[in-house]
A and B are shown apart, each in its own frame.
Chain A
């Protein structure tokens, strides 16, 4: 697998869950260029996770096609596809019976890398996410803080040099200070590796901070797709205006409060 990212294209992607009466995701056309940091932004239940999970086929679309670098995601077994796509979730989901090193090594092992190469890669990744290999390699997940655990989650997802990294609200469960440092890390990792990242959040600040492109979703549809400036300055409709506008107002108030107290 080469460094850099793959282009992700969704063509008319729709998802209706077996028990659902409406589409959770409806007729989404979206192209994410290679190496882009794309953020899916929208309110709870609008279909962000569902859409994200169609990319690694944890959810199979009931309509449309997902293409990775032009190749239909369905052309190969889903397990093979997933080994080339990193996946990070809010709950982290480290394997508690594995050490940090073993967690990071999961995908390389599935791919049959030899042990020497795996060991080298594990240390390289721990370095990348700024956890001292000597100190962290042999720890168990229960011996990590929430922030450290999610760093390991990111390292596990990056282990086999995926060209696409999917992240579903990865930093939503940690406190604001840790979140900010994790955001810095992922931005740096993206600059270094140029992996295509598709990142889900409902936090507007986080989206503005990280995104090359923001994809705003509402009720299963993409309502706007553009660079952060565009979203702020030229919201496509009232929904988008309110989404970023209300938040801008909150931020302004949050900045003012200390002044009042002084």
Chain B
């Protein structure tokens, strides 16, 4: 149970941090050519690096434990959040924004009442992807001493205890599935 708690804390914190960073950042760059190009290039770069590699890179740089594992997971969660926020904001039709401007909304009102609400379903898809990835990858955190359900797998591997290994694998899968379905429901609510 402690392992589950650590796992959820690790994945949850990583997601919250990635959302808090990623959504405003993508919001700021969406309409600025250069910053946007840089952001998307970075997101693309991080996306193709396997999560295990990120975790292993974090090891020599930051050492062992919860902190480095958290950082690696944030880096992992950021790309889908950044990309989907960007796509969501930019896919709002020009005509809709033009009409909004024509009604006399301020830029802030256009953002809050029109652009972000219309971008939200696309952002939600990114959040869902990030969530599943982070829950699955948080397993690997056990390899750098981050704890969580991965400890069952690491332990199971070390002692060749198949049932412990299975316990770890199945519980991670169940957790990811549960989170995914919960988000799928939310997403359906958001759909326009």
**A interface list, Cβ under 8 A from B:** 56, 58, 78-84, 87, 89, 91-97, 106-107, 110, 140, 142, 153, 156
Determine whether B156 belongs to the interface, using a CB cutoff of 8 Å to chain A. Answer: no
Contacts of A107 in B (CB 8 A): 103-104
Known: A78-B104, A80-B104, A93-B96; 9 extra A-B contacts, CB below 8 A, are: A79-B106, A83-B104, A84-B104, A93-B93, A93-B102, A97-B192, A106-B103, A110-B105, A110-B109
Q: How long is the Cα–Cα vector from A89 to B93 in the complex, in angstroms?
A: 13
Task: Give which listed residue, B96, B101, B104, contacts A95 with CB less than 8 A.
Answer: B96
**A96, B96: Cβ atoms under 8 Å?**
yes
**A56, B102: Cβ atoms under 8 Å?**
yes
Nearest Cβ in chain A — how far from B156, in angstroms?
48
**B99, A87: Cβ atoms under 8 Å?**
yes
Contacts of B93 in A (CB 8 A): 91, 93
Q: How long is the Cα–Cα vector from A58 to B106 in the complex, in angstroms?
A: 12
Most buried by A among B94, B99, B101, B192: B99
**Residues of chain B from 15 to 54 with CB closer than 8 A to chain A in the complex:** none
Q: How long is the Cα–Cα vector from A91 to B104 in the complex, in angstroms?
A: 18
Q: How long is the Cα–Cα vector from A67 to B8 in the complex, in angstroms?
A: 62
Determine whether B127 belongs to the interface, using a CB cutoff of 8 Å to chain A. Answer: no
Task: Give which listed residue, B95, B97, B99, B105, contacts A79 with CB less than 8 A.
Answer: B105
Q: How long is the Cα–Cα vector from A96 to B101 in the complex, in angstroms?
A: 15
Q: How long is the Cα–Cα vector from A107 to B109 in the complex, in angstroms?
A: 12
**B interface list, Cβ under 8 A from A:** 93-106, 109, 113-114, 117-118, 192
**15 pairs, CB–CB < 8 Å, chain A vs chain B:** A81-B104, A83-B103, A87-B102, A87-B103, A91-B93, A91-B95, A91-B98, A93-B93, A93-B96, A93-B99, A95-B113, A95-B114, A96-B118, A110-B103, A110-B109
Given A97-B192, A110-B109, verify A82-B95 contact (CB < 8 Å).
no
Q: How long is the Cα–Cα vector from A142 to B118 in the complex, in angstroms?
A: 14
Contacts of A87 in B (CB 8 A): 99, 102-103
Contacts of A83 in B (CB 8 A): 103-104
**A82, B103: Cβ atoms under 8 Å?**
yes
Given A91-B93, A93-B96, A95-B96, verify A110-B118 contact (CB < 8 Å).
no
Q: How long is the Cα–Cα vector from A49 to B21 in the complex, in angstroms?
A: 40
**A97, B103: Cβ atoms under 8 Å?**
no
Contacts of B109 in A (CB 8 A): 110
**A93, B192: Cβ atoms under 8 Å?**
no
Contacts of B118 in A (CB 8 A): 95-97
Nearest Cβ in chain A — how far from B133, in angstroms?
28
Contacts of B103 in A (CB 8 A): 82-83, 87, 106-107, 110, 156
Q: How long is the Cα–Cα vector from A58 to B110 in the complex, in angstroms?
A: 14
**A92, B95: Cβ atoms under 8 Å?**
yes
Q: How long is the Cα–Cα vector from A91 to B100 in the complex, in angstroms?
A: 12
Q: How long is the Cα–Cα vector from A58 to B100 in the complex, in angstroms?
A: 11
Q: How long is the Cα–Cα vector from A79 to B101 in the complex, in angstroms?
A: 8
Most buried by A among B102, B118, B192: B102
Task: Give which listed residue, B96, B101, B113, contacts A82 with CB less than 8 A.
Answer: B101
Given A95-B96, A96-B96, A97-B192, verify A82-B117 contact (CB < 8 Å).
no
Contacts of B117 in A (CB 8 A): 97
Q: How long is the Cα–Cα vector from A83 to B106 in the complex, in angstroms?
A: 11
**B98, A58: Cβ atoms under 8 Å?**
yes
